[in-house]
Amino acid sequence: MASGLYYITGEEVHAGDRVQHGDIFATVVYASDGTDEEIAPGYEDNSGSDRGIIICDDDGDVKSIGEPDDRLSFVDRG
């Protein structure tokens, strides 16, 4: 399923992607364009959230970052 959101480098955002947001490394756990959404297993409670991206950093902290910006870099697709 497509998320309809894109990194600054052009790759489409998907749940499960490894990313860097500023100096934090994290995994995308939710991505939604407002209509379609992708949710990583274990994060289903975010279903129906607003358009944007939710990440979980390597310390387990979950953060909503909204729209992709130049601080969000694609690292790897898992």
Over 90: is that where the pLDDT of 3 sits? no
Dihedral pair phi/psi, residue 17, rounded to 5°: -65, 140
Q: What is the pLDDT of residue 49?
A: 82
pTM of the model: 0.92
Q: What is the pLDDT of residue 48?
A: 84
Q: What is the pLDDT of residue 46?
A: 85
Residue 60 CA to residue 58 CA, distance in Å, equals 5
Q: pLDDT, tens digit, for every residue of 17-75?
A: 999 999 999 999 999 998 899 999 999 998 888 899 999 999 999 999 999 999 999 99
Domain region containing 21: 17-72
Does 77 fall in a domain? Answer: no
Residue 72 CA to residue 63 CA, distance in Å, equals 13
**How would you class 55 by CB atoms within 10 Å of its CB: exposed for 0-12, middle for 13-18, buried for 19 or more?**
buried
Does 10 fall in a domain? Answer: no
In the chain, the number of structural domains is: 1
